[in-house]
Amino acid sequence: MTLVAILSGAGISTDSGIPDYRGPNGLWRRDPEAEKLVTYDCYMADPEIRRRSWQMRRSSPTWRAEPNAAHRAVAELEQRPGFAVRVITQNVDGLHQQAGMPGRKVLELHGTSRSVVCTVCHARSSMEDALARVEAGEEDPPCLACGGILKSATVMFGQRLDPVVLGEAMAIAKASEVFIAVGTSLQVQPAASLAGVAAEHGARLVIVNAEPTPYDEQADELVREPIGTSLPALLERLA
């Protein structure tokens, strides 16, 4: 059984219509003010920031997005005999699961945009229900359990990654025989370090990304072709 770990970043979802936030045309480069909407301290301190954040969530392209060929290729590999596949994703869009990857085999390093969490009592509920309340006129819907401030169940700027999830990701990186970093700049730590950890523990490191990354020198193979065609072809070759 070959353990294949796939670290996916924003680039795997651009073909699904979800923009890359940090790329040359990314949202943070085009509108630095938008970064405040996903910065924890700003969000907690300013009701106007929260109101704008809820409007941004309402119009998110995630709700219209469908898994693309790259997501489907990963799910298909997981079903192939002889392969154990684990996905470690920096994305919050849930498209790996929609494509057929079992949820227990997907580690969401930065959380999920499909749920909301209370910042006081930590109760979780669906984003769909919260957005329905916004549609009905609540500009900043409070937690129904305790009245606390609700936020997307994603890791905002200024928040730590869940140490349990990060620990699991590190263990997978160390145990993997093939580690594929796809659509990620490998510049955001600690997620980026997983590629180096995998290489140091003997994994074959493959980086599929349009731009150079800090880990290219450690890679056994670099792929600069479009992800939607190159990743399915790469995974097919693993067989």
Q: Virtual CA dihedral for 42, 45, 49, 54, nearest 10 degrees?
A: 100
201 is catalytic: no
Buried b or exposed e, range 57-84, using 16+ CB within 10 angstroms = beebebeebebbbbbbbbbbbbeeeebb
Helix (H) or strand (E) holding 28: helix 27-30
Contact 149, 119 (CB under 8 A): yes
Task: With CA atoms as reference, report the closest residue to 204 among 47, 25, 3, 44.
Answer: 3
Buried b or exposed e, range 201-238, using 16+ CB within 10 angstroms = eebbbbbbbbeebebeeebeeebeeebbebbbebbeeb
* Gyration radius of the chain's alpha carbons: 18
Reply yes or no: is the peptide bond before residue 163 cis, omega within 30 of 0: no
| Catalytic annotation, pick one of 71, 110, 122, 201 | 110
Positions marked active-site:
110
